[in-house]
C-alpha cells in the first residue's frame, strides 16, 4: 500500500504516552442547530470503548454519517484543559462530558495535530481543526468557559481507519479543589 504524501505524524506527547481517559458519544444534539432556542437534554454517554468508522464517524454518535467528508467525524479534548478550567473557574460539579467531545486525552498537544495525520491505538486520523468553543459552553460548564477555551477547545478530526478506541487511563475526573491558575500561563 502506498504511503500518503503527508507523513504519519508521531503524536507529540508530554511524557511519552498518550492516554485516553474518557470516551463519550452523544446520540442527539443538545446545542447544534439550536441558535436562539433552548438546549435539548441529551446527555453524553460515557463508554469503555467506541467504534470508529473510516469516513463516517463514531458509531452511535450524533455526527455519525452526518455528511460526506465531514471534518468533525470525531472530536478530542485534553484532560489537562479540563483540569485547568475547573481550577480557574472553581467548578467542582461538571465532568468532561459537558464539552461534548468524543475522546478525552491526557499527555498530548492536540493543537499540534491540526493538519496532520496521526495514529492512536493503531487507528489513523487526520486533524482538521480546532473544536472552536461556542457560547453554549457558558451554559454547559460555566459563564466564562467560552472565552477561556479559545485556542484550547479540542481537536476535530476525520477517521481514516476503522477500529476501536479503548480507555487506557483512569477515567475518574475530580476537579482540583481550591486551585487557581492563570490559564494563559499554563496552556
Q: Which three cell numbers, joined as nine digits, stand for 58?
A: 463514531
Phi, psi of 58 (to 5 degrees): -95, 120
What is the CATH number assigned to the segment(s) 19-27+46-166?
2.40.33.20
User: Residue 134: pLDDT band by 50, 70, 90 thresholds?
Assistant: confident
Q: How buried is 174 (Cβ within 10 angstroms: 0-12 exposed, 13-18 middle, 19+ buried)?
A: exposed
User: What global pTM score does this model have?
Assistant: 0.79
pLDDT at 105: 96
Enumerate the domain spans of the chain: 19-27+46-166
Average pLDDT rounded to a whole number, residues 48-71: 93
- Cα–Cα dist 108/47, whole Å: 21
Please state, rounded to an integer, the average pLDDT across all residues of the chain. Answer: 80
Q: What is the pLDDT of residue 155?
A: 97
The pLDDT value given to residue 72: 93
pLDDT of 18-42, one tens digit each? 899 999 998 755 555 545 656 556 6
Q: What is the mean pLDDT of residues 93-117?
A: 93
pLDDT tier at 159 (50, 70, 90 boundaries)? very high
Amino acid at each position: 500500500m502506498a504511503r500518503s504524501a503527508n507523513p504519519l505524524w508521531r503524536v507529540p506527547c508530554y511524557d511519552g504516552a498518550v492516554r485516553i481517559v474518557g470516551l463519550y458519544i452523544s446520540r442527539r444534539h443538545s446545542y447544534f442547530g439550536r441558535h436562539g432556542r433552548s438546549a435539548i437534554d441529551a446527555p453524553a454517554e460515557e463508554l469503555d470503548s467506541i467504534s470508529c468508522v473510516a469516513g463516517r464517524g463514531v458509531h452511535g454518535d450524533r455526527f455519525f454519517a452526518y455528511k460526506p467528508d465531514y471534518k468533525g467525524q470525531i472530536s478530542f479534548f485534553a484532560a489537562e484543559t479540563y483540569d485547568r478550567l475547573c481550577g480557574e473557574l472553581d467548578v467542582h460539579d461538571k465532568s468532561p462530558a459537558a464539552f461534548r467531545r468524543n475522546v478525552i486525552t491526557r499527555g498530548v498537544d492536540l493543537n499540534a495535530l491540526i493538519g496532520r495525520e496521526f495514529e492512536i491505538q493503531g487507528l489513523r486520523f487526520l486533524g482538521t481543526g480546532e473544536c472552536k468553543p461556542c457560547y453554549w459552553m457558558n451554559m454547559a460548564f460555566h459563564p466564562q468557559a467560552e472565552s477561556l477555551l479559545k485556542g484550547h477547545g479540542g481537536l476535530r478530526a476525520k477517521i481514516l481507519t476503522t477500529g476501536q478506541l479503548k480507555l487506557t487511563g483512569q477515567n475518574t475526573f475530580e476537579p482540583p479543589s481550591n486551585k487557581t491558575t492563570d490559564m494563559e500561563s499554563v496552556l
